[in-house]
Amino acid sequence: MKLRKQVTVCGGAIFCVAVFSLYLMLDRVQHDPGRRQSGGNFPRSQISVLQNRIEQLEQLLEENHQIISHIKDSVMELTDTGAVSPSGHLPFRSANGSWVLPFDGRPTFLAVKPQDCQFAVGSRGQADVQMLDVYSLLKFDNPDGGVWKQGFDITYDPEEWDSEPLQVFVVPHSHNDPGWVKTFDKYFTDQTQHILNNMVVKLAEDPRRKFIWSEISFFSKWWETADIHKQEAMRKLILGGQLEIVTGGWVMTDEATAHYFAMIDQLIEGHQWLERNLGITPHSGWAVDPFGHSATMPYLLKRANLTSMLIQRIHYSIKKHFASTRSLEFMWRQAWDTGSSTDIFCHMMPFYSYDVPHTCGPDPKICCQFDFKRLPGGRINCPWKVPPKAVVEANVAERAHLLLDQYRKKSKLYRSKVLLVPLGDDFRYDKALEWDQQYVNYQKLFDYMNSHPDMHVQAQFGTLTDYFNAVSKAHGVAQGSRPTDYPVLSGDFFAYADREDHYWTGYFTSRPFYKSMDRVIESHLRGAEILYSLAVANARHAGMEGRYPVSDYALLVDARRSVGLFQHHDAIAGTAKENVVIDYGTKYLVLFNPMEQERLCVVTVLVNTVRVRVLTEDGQTLPVQLSAHSQSLLEKKKVIDFPINPCCLIKVNMVCLVATQTSFHLCSNFFFFFSLSPVCVYYYFFFNLQSIKRKDDPQEVKVQMQFIVYGTRPSKDKSGAYLFLPDGKAKPYNQKEPPVVRVVEGPLFSEVVAHYQHFQQTIRVHNVPGVDGLSVDITIMVDIRDQTNKELAMRLVTDIQSGDVFYTDLNGFQMQPRRHYLKLPLQANFYPMSSQAYIQDSHHRLTLHTAQSLGVSSLESGQLEVIMDRRLMQDDNRGLGQGLKDNKKTANRFRLLLESRSIGNKMMDSPTISFPSILSHMTNALLNHEVLALPVLPKRRGIPPLQTFAPLKSIFPCDFHLLNLRSIQTQQQDPHSPSPYTALILHRLALDCGLETQNLGFNCTTTQGQLSVSGLFKNLDLQLLQPMSLTLMHSSTPLANDSTISLDPMEISTFKLKLR
């Protein structure tokens, strides 16, 4: 109130001065004898002068009145916008010039039980093979291996199968990309529908014929267009074991750049479709085309109750090493698993590709002769210049022995006398002729082999699960169990190289615009899922189920399938044709906090006027800050700060006010720093970030932000959509003119925006309590559309002594330690980063959180660099047939978090595992699940006004993440209506408690993994609580409705709920 009093006194003083001046002027006129005339008459000239002075005085009084009125309005405006005294309710400047936000009265506490910290430091289940150790062991040389160029010569004793014949399962397949060179619909029209139509006919001709299929996106589209007779014929083939659905996801998901939310969601969508339409459950995973393999995928398959899996695209040196030790089949275990509950049996294909020349044995020249689609006269032939021969009685013996020799050599790489031989390639079997060519000729070979006992072989067509069952039976173990002496492996298989130094690390970043868009859509889909499920449940509870528009569920199903389709390994990877990428984009077709935790955060809304203030539903003014939009001075951003309860939807009002002025300033080079909340950020030299200091830490950490550029090789082999083949070390980004810099300082945030020729750099620090104010907000708007063969990267250079070790996440699910190897080329040291990467020493950890998947590395101690965009003018000879020239202006969004490590944590670093802190988990959630600002339609008659919707009774424990609350489709024929059931999918986070957690400013408590589901939802009755497999295909005994569920750290669990 002090400012109000000062203004009032000042205005009153001005008024008194004006009145007193009028009095003196009138008094002077009245008493001046020189101005008096006889008879009481004034000369006309004096009267005129007096009238002029009176008019001037009246004008002065009017101006004074306007000034006082303006001051009064200014006081009111300042009161509304918050720049008032410490006794006010909104932000104000303190005596030292810094901004202070009001205390909202919420108590904050951190109550992490010691038992919940033990998982990160406890013992682990032992693995025989750690992939980090394998990388350290291998030389990664590439000597000529003979006919198996990347391997070695294979020999065998012809008599070793005399006592136990070799079992051979030839597995026909057709890999159908849901969009790559053609769009999804074009592929379906041109090829996929013909493959499935032929399948119904050709498999039925002989019960010995088998086939496998994986992509449900294509299969469901065919099913919808097929008549009832074709559907019944297909169902008969599946139930009869001739056709197996493998993996059963909506697509064969990418494993490097996809987020685990989307990986699970597309798996659920596929599995639910199979259960609803065919009543089947997949048993085996099939992933022949993702470009490298993540450790997340085996965990998801295991929790979906699959028992075995197959992988293919792995570095040729690793394949050679595993083949030489006969370790191509192993139990894949999570590095964090304290026992063996995550083990899944995995088969690694040994050779270059999944096509026919590289699947029957080590010699592609011979194997190609048994791809009967390449018979003379066809459209494709064998590159080795020896064509296949049709099998006839005159040559069947020679042909059979030649093929058996390859089978035997390949079998020597495995530990059982059961052999898997895939028979297929991309979009194979689209012509009826090929079905006849392959099946008829191979059946002749099988009949000859099986009728000659001296060959000691049993060969047949089979499915993938036929093969895995035979392996288990041969070793006398249950399906999916560990055979005796089979190794246990932990780790992942990045980065992938198929030959020479051609590393597939470019696609980690390719087309970042779509990678960013995908994550935004995923967040919106998750929010819509949660709101829809809660809305339907509340409608049922209120007896309004018949009035609720459940037809909207069809839109939710379409959104799920569009997001699922984009997880395909040629979609989110950015390795499809330009017109195909556009096709993906067009399928994507009040304030809501989609998180399970309460949050106090800044929400940004773009407005077209400065005359706005923001009110809560009950009329209270919210703290706001107005700043110019970085793209235009005419558009403004209104920034709001307030708390929102978990999964809560609230309404705010934006009210027009009298026009006000906003300003900003441009700056030249000088040193300055922001000191907001617990974080201090220092800048100089063109405003690049220089250092960060936490207020509770006496040590300032050097963090320099640099921008660098990679070129591509001048030789024939160049970088493309898949490959990263740089022309050496990165060069500094330079431009002739210094950047235009804008500095904004205000009560809610301060930021520096630097405009460079090819990017716009925004570094912001929020002045709010809680998670939002504990990290540095970074946005780099990249536009390299005028560049040629350039890749733009951001590098952080620090004084953290990280050595050659850094950490990247796998699909946002878990952290994977990495090591920079000098023996590998530069491009081999890049890894996918879906959500975060960090470096650390005994004192600090610096984490770069990202809102989009990108490629990341640490090429020197204390450095972390991320490639933000790539523009490449040529194809890299991996089948796409074009470069990356369709770049878009793309916002790369990050959060930079500096944490101090406690003394007890300095000696706890494990070479195989690492976990984020609770603050890091919440920072990542803040970045990837922002508050959703939804416009409200104008009021219409008969529609009641929106009210605050707070459906949860309390916040979740802070180590629980609500992965999804997904309405389950009805089992009836109508796929576009919800059933009464909801899938509750929870992920319990693992915490590194060895990072300092003072003054976090948010509420956090843990419960040792215990959660009462019946106590979660407000005004809803829990009528069913049933544990399920991850994708809802397998159920356990229902629990009592008041039961407390329990999750171990890192585990994801699904429950079927009935809420009413």
Instruction: Concatenate the DSSP letters of all residues of 710-728 into one string.
Output: E-B-SSSS---SS---BSS
Is residue 779 within 8 A of residue 753, CB to CB? The reply is: no
| Whether the bond into 495 is cis, omega within 30 of 0 | yes
How long is the chain? 1060
Q: Distance of CA 52 to CAs 46, 79, 759, 936, Å?
A: 10, 40, 62, 58
Q: Which member of 177, 289, 337, 583 is catalytic?
A: 289
- Residue 264, helix vs strand vs coil: helix
- Give the rounded distance of the alpha carbon of 146 from its chain centre: 42
The CA distance from 346 to 342, in Å, is: 12
344-348 and 329-332 beta bridge pairing: antiparallel
Q: Which residue has the tokens 């110019």?
A: 628
The CA distance from 612 to 614, in Å, is: 7
The CA distance from 891 to 888, in Å, is: 10
The CA distance from 758 to 881, in Å, is: 27
Is residue 156 within 8 A of residue 456, CB to CB? The reply is: no
Instruction: Concatenate the DSSP letters of all residues of 860-913 into one string.
Output: STTEEEEEEEEEB-S--SSS--S-B-----EEEEEEEEEEEBPGGGTT---SS-
The CA distance from 574 to 991, in Å, is: 33
Provide the β-strand partners of residue 566: none
591-592 and 624-628 beta bridge pairing: unpaired
The CA distance from 508 to 857, in Å, is: 11
C-alpha atoms less than 13 angstroms from C-alpha of 728 in its C-beta half-sphere:
3
Is residue 169 within 8 A of residue 467, CB to CB? The reply is: yes
Is residue 701 within 8 A of residue 679, CB to CB? The reply is: no
The CA distance from 283 to 357, in Å, is: 27
Other Cβ atoms less than 10 A from the Cβ of 708: the count is: 16
Is residue 594 within 8 A of residue 932, CB to CB? The reply is: yes
The CA distance from 516 to 281, in Å, is: 33
The CA distance from 146 to 151, in Å, is: 8
Start-to-end Cα distance in the chain: 51
- Tell me if residue 289 is catalytic: yes
**Residue 1051 main-chain phi, psi, to 5 deg:** -80, 145
The CA distance from 661 to 1010, in Å, is: 53
The CA distance from 527 to 567, in Å, is: 19
Q: Which residue has the tokens 């005399």?
A: 162
The CA distance from 91 to 93, in Å, is: 7
The CA distance from 224 to 864, in Å, is: 49
Q: Which residues of 251-266 are buried (b: 16+ CB within 10 A; e: fewer)?
A: bbbbbbbbbbbbbbbb
Instruction: Concatenate the DSSP letters of all residues of 221-257 into one string.
Output: HHHHHS-HHHHHHHHHHHHTTSEEE-S--SS-B-SSS
The CA distance from 976 to 964, in Å, is: 19
The CA distance from 988 to 336, in Å, is: 13
* Cβ contacts of 889 within 8 Å, gap of 6 or more: 513, 781, 782, 783, 785
Q: Cite the active site residues.
A: 289
